[in-house]
Amino acid sequence: MTSTAPLGLRRAVGLADYTTWKVGGPAQWFAEPERADELAELLLWAQAEGISSRVIGAGSNLLISDQGLDGLTLCNRRLQGAQIDADAGVIEAQAGEPIPTLARRAARAGLSGLEWAVGIPGTVGGAAVMNAGAQGGCTAEVLESVSVLDPLDPTRRLTLTASDLDFDYRHSRLQLEPLVVLSARFRLSPGHDPASISQRTSANLHSRTSSQPYQQPSCGSVFRNPEPLKAGQLIEGLGLKGLSVGGAQVSPIHANFIVNTGHALAREIDQLIALVQQHVSTAHAIALHTEVKRLGPFEEIALAA
């Protein structure tokens, strides 16, 4: 190292505890900044050292290689906090704020628009990047703007409006450009009965937890729906529930979930994803695309036709 390492920087930190799949090798360098300026300082340090960097949130929709990650990995889940203006229907939330927590707070404030988000296992920043959605709702419908930081110039912050983000189904511009979300501004519908909104929010959560395998590590939905079809229905229709590779299994509860049954490796999950894709392609000539982002080295998988 050629420069003084910032406080909080750690070496060789296992990343399995930072993903909802509970898999992943060690980060060469790792930190959990608690403020935006700390995050910027860490990115500047990585830049000075000439090493790569990336930011992760709750670790959902993320598959990290068993070999781990070179360079600097930053986890933003301590960048929490939200300010709610119930009269205006505006919420300003930090990137690491859990989206289910925000949904419950919005409901208690009588704000409608985030009821769908209560079962999403991610952060505000991740929801903005992925255009997360469920129960017929999605981030693009309620997000007004985001504050982002440019890792190539961590002193530079930008505000991007929803129209700047090129939202589409489970897609945003933020997936294509190396911008780090610091906070997001949501515009919701104010003046509703908090009890009614809370009841609707709880009903959405019950619907998800009763039909999805929340007792085992997963990333949520693995595959994007090939609209108007549903990925889970295609997979289930081929009898693939319960299909396993090592410790990775297509959930017997919901076919669009791959669960870690206890000791799965990232490569086993990756192999099972490819196997499911092959079955669906062979049977229906449909290419299933993942919602999952892979980080680190993965072997190319060649499966028999």
Q: Which of 60, 112, 198, 221 is catalytic?
A: 221
Residue 74 bridge partners (DSSP): 31, 55
Cα 260 to Cα 172: distance, rounded to the nearest angstrom = 28
In residues, how long is the chain?
Answer: 305
Annotated active-site residue 170? The verdict is yes
Annotated active-site residue 187? The verdict is no
Q: Which of 77, 104, 170, 208 is catalytic?
A: 170
Q: Which of 32, 38, 115, 291 is catalytic?
A: 291
Annotated active-site residue 77? The verdict is no
**What residues are labeled active site?**
170, 221, 291
